[in-house]
Amino acid sequence: MSIKNARQQVSNWLLAGVIMIIVQILLGGITRLTGSGLSITEWKPLMGAFPPLSKAEWNHSFAQYQQIAQFKKLNNQFTLADYQGLFFWEWLHREWARLMGLVFVLPFLWFYYKRRFDRRTRWQLVGLFMLAALQGLAGWLMVQSGLNDTDVSVSPIRLAVHFILALVLLAYLFWIFLSSRMRQQSELASYSIRLLTALIVFVLSIQLIYGAFMAGTHAALYAPTWPDINGKFLPCSPTVAGGILQRLVNDPLLIQFVHRSLAYLLSGLTLAWYFFARRYPAHPIYRLRCYPLLFLIIQAILGISCLLNSGTERYIWLAMLHQVNGILLWLFMTGIFCLTYRSKVQAIG
């Protein structure tokens, strides 16, 4: 097999991994929005691949769920059929993670045997596997935080850590994929566009994390209005007690205010990026300059629609489209940053 074809196979495998991680993040979003994350109270890496197969097994699983606070305080009216609906999304989330493990490990061993990796890529992928293992551990620790007699949901801090690691894992694999495709450097006249791109990626990352907080606290239900927040622009009365740091991850109204404020900041940064990109007609970013604005407009429309439809049947699917578009925007800007990072930069301006 030619070197070009071998590289293409590895590149396609990496792209498949990127797509699978995006799907996994979306499944995690559905799990949060439906409150399904605590429906499975055990972690069985091997036997857990199979759902309960008999009425007795279903009753045992349901009985375990009935011991935690989420059932006692929120879902004590649930029947076995209701519980099975919750169980499905958490089980699918875990099952997809197992499938990803197979899709990553088996081809990796084959490519390694066939010497399809250079030394740098090999070590990058070893780092990827270590990060994936850490992500799995963080996911279980997150679930454990809600398996008690007091909490009806998982710890928002552990939720944030789990989501941050998912974003890091996605960005890391996407970077390896892009690097496998990019063989030439492009000219770029200034550090400004690189720094602005990095800033947008950073703010977008914080915004996505606050999107997870929005889902985890069901913050949209507390202020289903726009552009105001229940008739005001600043949430005056805290909905939870505690200091500012605690409220930033627990107070639904403050979380929504931060999420909205970051959206306005991103709009300004992205508009500035568009005008900067117009200054480099010889660089690939010139041809891509309109896409971030398009993603952002769609994201704003979906975000406002989520707020105005919170509490309705349409909300979950609007929220998922909102998350999908946000991740695509974030990946697009990560790709732009990879382009600018690998470009030759002249020390002018």
Span 295-339, pLDDT tens digits: 999 999 999 998 898 878 888 888 889 988 998 998 888 888 877
pTM for the model: 0.82
Q: Average of pLDDT values for 31-39?
A: 82
pLDDT at 41: 83
Is pLDDT at 96 greater than 60 in this prediction?
Answer: yes
- How far apart are alpha carbons 205 and 326 in whole angstroms? 10
pLDDT at 345: 46
Q: CA torsion, points 7, 13, 17, 18, in degrees to nearest 10?
A: 50
DSSP annotation string for 175-199: HHHHHHH--S--EE--SHHHHHHHH
For the stretch 264-274, pLDDT in tens is 999 999 999 99
DSSP state of 224: -
Mean pLDDT of the chain: 84
Is pLDDT at 128 greater than 60 in this prediction?
Answer: yes
Confidence bin at 276 (pLDDT 50/70/90): confident
Is pLDDT at 340 greater than 80 in this prediction?
Answer: no
CB 116 within 8 A of CB 10: yes
For the stretch 206-259, pLDDT in tens is 998 898 888 778 888 888 888 888 888 877 666 776 777 788 888 888 999 999
pLDDT at 263: 93
pLDDT at 19: 93
- How far apart are alpha carbons 338 and 266 in whole angstroms? 19
Is pLDDT at 347 greater than 80 in this prediction?
Answer: no
pLDDT at 343: 55
Confidence bin at 262 (pLDDT 50/70/90): very high
Percentage with pLDDT > 70 across the chain: 91
Q: Average of pLDDT values for 176-204?
A: 77
Contacts of 290 by beta carbon, 8 Å cutoff, 6+ apart:
274
pLDDT at 268: 94
